[in-house]
Amino acid sequence: MTWVGRSAARREDPRLLTGNGTFVDDIHLPRMLHAQFVRSTIANGTVTGVDLSGTLAVPGVVAAFTAADLEMGDITAVLERPPSEFVPTAMPVLARDRVRFVGEPIAIVLAEDPYSVEDGVEAAQVTYEAHPPVLGEEAALAPGAPLVHAAAAANTLVDVSMFATEGIDDIFAAAHRVVRVRSRTGRQNALPLETRGAVATWDAREEQLLVRTCTQVPHQVRTVVAGCLGLGERAVRVVVPDMGGGFGLKCVVGREEIAAAAAALRLRRPVKWIEDRRDALTASFLAREQRYDVCAAFDEDGRILALDADVVCDMGAYSCYPFTAGIEPLMASAELPGVYRVPAYRVRGRAITTNKAPSAPYRGVSRPQIVMVMERVFERAARELDLDPVEIRRRNLITEFPYTGINDVTYDPGSYLEALNLCERMLRDEGWYERKEQAAAEGRFLGIGYSCFNERTGYGSGAFAKRKMAVVPGFDLAQITMDLTGGVTVTTGTMSHGQSHETTLAQIAAGRLGLDLAQIKIHQGDTDRITYGFGTFASRSATIGGSAVARAATKLADRLLHLGAHLLETTPDDVELHDGHVRRRDGGGRALAYRELAEVAYLKANLLPKDAEPGLTATASFDVHGDGTFSNAAHGAVVELHPGTGRVEFLRYVCVEDCGVAINPQVVEGQCRGGIAQGIAGALFEEVTYDEQGEPLCASFIDYKVPTANEIPDIEIHHLETPCAFTESGAKGAGEGGTIGAPAAVLNAVNDALRPTGVELEDTPIRPETVQRAIGAYA
Amino acid sequence: MKPAPFTYHRARDVAGAIALLAELGEDAKYLAGGQSLVAMMNFRLARPAHLVDLGGLRGELAYVREDDGVLRLGALTTHHQVESAPLGPDFAVLREAMSWIGHLPIRTRGTVGGSLAHGEATAEWCLLAVLLGAEVVVQGVGGRRTVPAEELFLGFFTTALEPEEMIVEVVFPRPAPHAALTEFAQRRGDFATVAAAVDLDAGRVVLGGVAPVPLRVPEAEAVLARGGTFAECAEAAAAAIDPPADGDGGAGYRRALTRTLLVQACEEAMRR
């Protein structure tokens, strides 16, 4: 039976939907202490004193430690680039003398219950010498600005001019038309429903620190825990229970889980830290605060001739591990040309440091912005050249593959033009263009907007090496073991935080082994169960993790064929796997059930062929040595703006996506819908804001306006299929596309609706007040 | 986000609860549905030393009684009970307005009396009470008294209640067949950026989100009284107010919302 391509029911759901999942906060251990943190109340300054005597006097408080008490190494993320391009900065687990954002952890408090620990935190006395905070690009880059890190001149952590086509200035000078787009995007929180957390325990028998934590990258957490605490990696085990989302925020290593582990080691008692929502909103990892200044040269036919971009990303107070503050500017610089044939390209990408909570990857990483900017470039050019906005895209889309772009990236085949055409045809056939005309005649503001984009997935070690990261993620491992009952356990180095690996990876293995899903157990998130892995981020699990599983399954299948052929007294070429059995292709003789083979492999090794090892285990790895594989999609949004309130109402949202072979189409659609919801959130709703002292103004969901199901429209999804040539299942990644495409489609639709007013909006989130003011001024 | 230490008391009857609160002093608070107070305690923005839980008084204080053009609501009646009550056209405005309060789980816990005592300036019950001229029955150590809703709200989260006084009943003394409440917030269920309520029978206009208290707007009411258009009424209201600015919008935006919402509310009230 073929499993790949079927919308098999999620095997995770019965457990999760009946409340039987086990999340970090569901772990309760005898003698467990609860940890919380004394956090900086100022954005920038020197700590002149920490007095924990009041804390220790609170009933229930057991201990409290500062950086000096625990002696932990710093977390330092590194790019192997010259000092002119990258400045490494150390992030201490607990702040020592300097604090750099409101919410930075200064001391860890441990108490018998989660209430007393907060009383203990409240009783701590910290004195500061406050300095003026650096709170934005302008302040950070101003001459003579105070420095967030002494080593980082001009508050710049990354400054890379990745491309500069020779003669580009001449192209601009001679161009028929130059359009310029300047855009800012608000700081956002990836906002997993489950906040961060950890339960750390010293296991005396194993001589091992067991850290249960909700992370996308268990092995990287092990490395940092071991490094900061001076332990061998074998003395640290990271185990990940069920997770309620991550979205990139949990693919970096945080400070609090290290401090909790250090406290558990010191006190020899289990320590639980669960981040509360206020800390999650203000003191966790943030993302997306960027500024673009982009010029594009066009000929009279609307063909783009050159692209010149200046990108500044506000990465907050520290570089995140292992990606560094380069994560956003380097992604933006490498990928800006996107799905278009851009003949000349110049880009400067910078990461600046400010007195805000640090940035980490968030679903899409810079691509929501670069797609928004590029799609705005084409919309503007279409207006100025009096071309249809879809037609101008058609003239510039990459249509022949493989295509090596000006950004030195080779794109594998995709369906860029087909996706855009189908998306447009759907909206035309449904009559939205006529409705838009009619609305305009009635003085209503209805707009249609598109986005057309690709998404690099399956970043292997080759692609990450181009970034010059000291830690080069890329490959992954899978191990498959058949047990005596003829079923298998698949162990993967990837880590589902909502991606349905228990279903999709099982589908891959089931197809290769002729097994039913029920006979396959997926095991993930335990550093003691698999040699190494890079976890789940950058849409890598189906492509890289899935390919490793497919290869391991193929190896195991091969062993089963050999063993079966031996027992059936024929050759491997004459047997096949079918429905849990090895049988002769000619239909002769008896079919051997897997459990019979397993019995021989484990309990009757005397019957094995001479050269065969006992047991039935296979291990395989997979890496991508080229530039990865590119999913693509086109989004179409129809909105109506309400003049009296500025409300943006969705009338229609369609998505045509191509992620190659969809292992499980229902799972892909879930990824698209969730991603689009987060994209809409960025376009219209969410922004982390600060007052002039650097105090975050979004400490609850009252102020941080994550949209709910009420605000997200129905989304129709269509699939195209351009299989990936080098992943084992033909799959491309599907984790981020929705988030990447939605902001551009929404912004374009809003601007299309605003067209009579002459106002063009380039910044997100678009506030109702902004829309109301634009229309009000026009009326 | 765990509350500071407090002592929990469970009330057995109204008089006992009041006596207890009087004895405990200003550091004590009644706990009704807890939908505002508990959240504030979790943020440690409110830190009562004693909580007197009124949950045990629901049998006595949760009711919806419509009789001869007068509606009486027990103070512990939940929003959801009003939302699902078989109210006639005289008080349909109350039932319809409930959908603006938070989300369903909040409405199943939050109470009429709790919302009025909390005194949030955009709270639907506060607006409706002023709009419909409600009489708020409060009980203290010295017995009962009736506070007209218009005199209940003194300022930002400040009411005319004495610390130990408990709202026991809210009386809506006259039918309001042509009244409506509408609001705007970017997300459904949020505190309104601006809320507008109108009672065409009584000629009343009340706004939320534009002042520290639910605000009657005499200038707008005068337009209705002289038979002006709804647009003129809304324009008069927008000109009369001095709204605050915050992350949800500036004063100009709140005026614009006032114009839009008041016309909507008037039209909705007309259609009833």
- What are the boundaries of each domain within chain B? 7-57, 59-172, 179-271
**Residues A357, A102: Cα–Cα separation, whole Å:** 7
Antiparallel, parallel or unpaired: β A236-239 and A208-213: parallel
- Give contacts of B188 with chain A, Cβ < 8 Å: 708, 710-711
Q: Which of B188, B247, B250 sits opposite A710 (nearest CB)?
A: B188
- Give contacts of A702 with chain B, Cβ < 8 Å: 190-191
What is chain A's length? Answer: 779
**Residues A627, A241: Cα–Cα separation, whole Å:** 32
Q: Which of B5, B43, B260 sits opposite A119 (nearest CB)?
A: B5
- Measured between alpha carbons, how far is residue B47 from residues A555, B7, B159 in Å? 64, 11, 18
Angle made by CA atoms A623, A419, A733, in degrees to the nearest 5: 20
- pLDDT for residue A74: 97
Query: Any idea where the domains of chain A sit in the sequence?
Result: 13-131+193-245+250-282, 290-458+627-778, 475-622
Q: Which of B44, B187, B256 sits opposite A711 (nearest CB)?
A: B187
- Residues B14-37: pLDDT tens digits? 999 999 999 999 899 999 999 999
Using the Cβ of A60 and the Cβ atoms of chain B, whether some distance falls under 8 Å is answered with: no
- Give contacts of A769 with chain B, Cβ < 8 Å: 248-250, 253
Class of domain B59-172 as given by CATH? alpha beta
Give burial (CB, 10 Å; 0-12/13-18/19+) of B43.
middle
Residues 6+ apart with CB under 8 A from A210: A200, A201, A202, A203, A237, A239
- pLDDT for residue A777: 85
What average pLDDT does this structure show over B124-145?
Answer: 97
3-state secondary structure A233-297: HHHEEEECCCCCCCCCCCCCCCCHHHHHHHHHHHHCCCEEEECCHHHHHHCCCEECCEEEEEEEE
* A690 half-sphere exposure, CB direction, 13 A CA radius: 25
Helices (H) and strands (E) in chain B, counts: 12, 14
Task: Indicate the pLDDT class of residue B136, thresholds 50, 70 and 90.
Answer: very high
Which position has the token pair 């007309």?
B270
Give burial (CB, 10 Å; 0-12/13-18/19+) of A366.
buried
Using an 8 Å Cβ cutoff, are A250 and A284 in contact? no
Topology agreement, domain A13-131+193-245+250-282 and domain A475-622: no
Angle made by CA atoms B191, B195, B200, in degrees to the nearest 5: 150
**What are B4's two structure tokens?**
């500071």
**Torsions phi, psi for B156 (to 5 deg):** -55, 110
The amino acid at residue A175 is A
Interhelix angle for A432-441 vs A416-429, to 10°? 50
Antiparallel, parallel or unpaired: β A476-482 and A488-492: antiparallel
Domain B7-57 part of CATH 3.30.70.360:
no
Domain A290-458+627-778 part of CATH 3.30.365.10:
yes
- Residues A671-710: pLDDT tens digits? 999 999 999 999 999 999 999 999 999 999 999 999 999 9
**Residues B32, B161: Cα–Cα separation, whole Å:** 15
Residue B199 has pLDDT above 70, yes or no: yes
- Give contacts of A709 with chain B, Cβ < 8 Å: none
Residues 6+ apart with CB under 8 A from B222: B236
Domain B179-271 part of CATH 3.30.390.50:
yes
Nearest CA-CA distance, residue B132 and chain A, Å: 26
- Expressed in angstroms, the distance from the first to the final Cα of chain A is 63
Residue of chain B minimizing CA distance to A279: B1
Using an 8 Å Cβ cutoff, are A368 and A376 in contact? no
- pLDDT for residue A527: 97
**Residues A128, A126: Cα–Cα separation, whole Å:** 7
Longest CA span, chain B: 57
**What are B74's two structure tokens?**
């027990």
Using the Cβ of A708 and the Cβ atoms of chain B, whether some distance falls under 8 Å is answered with: yes
Nearest CA-CA distance, residue B226 and chain A, Å: 25
**What are A389's two structure tokens?**
């906005």
The amino acid at residue B106 is I
Taking an 8 Å cut-off on Cβ atoms, the answer to whether A710 and B257 are in contact is no
The amino acid at residue B44 is R
What percent of chain B lies above the pLDDT cut of 90?
99
Residue of chain A minimizing CA distance to B264: A644
- Measured between alpha carbons, how far is residue A162 from residues A173, A408, A756, B160 in Å? 22, 10, 39, 66
Residue of chain B minimizing CA distance to A708: B187
Beta bridge mates, B73: B64, B170
**Torsions phi, psi for A58 (to 5 deg):** -70, 130
- Give contacts of B250 with chain A, Cβ < 8 Å: 769
- pLDDT for residue A587: 86
- Residues A622-644: pLDDT tens digits? 999 889 999 999 999 999 999 99
**Residues A302, A395: Cα–Cα separation, whole Å:** 7
Which superfamily does A13-131+193-245+250-282 belong to?
Aldehyde oxidase/xanthine dehydrogenase, a/b hammerhead (3.90.1170.50)
Give burial (CB, 10 Å; 0-12/13-18/19+) of A5.
middle
**Residues A638, A434: Cα–Cα separation, whole Å:** 12
Using the Cβ of A59 and the Cβ atoms of chain B, whether some distance falls under 8 Å is answered with: no
Q: What is the mean pLDDT of each run of 10 residues along chain A (779 residues)?
A: 92 96 98 98 98 98 97 95 96 97 98 98 98 96 97 98 98 98 98 98 97 97 98 98 97 97 98 98 98 98 98 98 96 98 98 98 98 98 97 98 96 98 98 98 98 95 89 94 98 94 97 96 96 92 95 97 96 95 91 97 95 94 93 98 98 98 97 98 98 96 96 97 95 96 98 97 98 91
On the question of a cis peptide bond just before residue A402, with omega within 30 degrees of 0, the verdict is yes
Domain A475-622 part of CATH 2.70.150.10:
no
The amino acid at residue A625 is H
**Residues A457, A630: Cα–Cα separation, whole Å:** 6
- Measured between alpha carbons, how far is residue A413 from residues A117, A318, A474, A614, A663 in Å? 56, 38, 21, 43, 18
Using the Cβ of A700 and the Cβ atoms of chain B, whether some distance falls under 8 Å is answered with: yes
**Residues A87, A101: Cα–Cα separation, whole Å:** 19
- Expressed in angstroms, the distance from the first to the final Cα of chain B is 44
- Give contacts of A119 with chain B, Cβ < 8 Å: 4-5
Interface test with chain B among A641, A700, A769, by most B beta carbons within 10 Å: A769
For residue B26, what is the DSSP state? G
For residue A591, what is the DSSP state? P
Interhelix angle for A367-385 vs A737-753, to 10°? 30
- Measured between alpha carbons, how far is residue A606 from residues A483, A599, A611 in Å? 18, 11, 12
What average pLDDT does this structure show over B204-216?
Answer: 97
Nearest CA-CA distance, residue B138 and chain A, Å: 31
- Measured between alpha carbons, how far is residue B21 from residues A23, A190, B4, B37, B142 in Å? 41, 44, 19, 16, 13
Angle made by CA atoms B110, B111, B114, in degrees to the nearest 5: 105
Nearest CA-CA distance, residue A234 and chain B, Å: 36
Residues 6+ apart with CB under 8 A from A520: A487, A488, A489, A490, A506, A509, A510
**Residues B270, B180: Cα–Cα separation, whole Å:** 9
Number of Cβ within a 10 Å radius of residue A200: 29
Which position has the token pair 């396959």?
A520
Using the Cβ of A277 and the Cβ atoms of chain B, whether some distance falls under 8 Å is answered with: yes
- pLDDT for residue B245: 95
Taking an 8 Å cut-off on Cβ atoms, the answer to whether B247 and A689 are in contact is yes
Which position has the token pair 């970043």?
A459
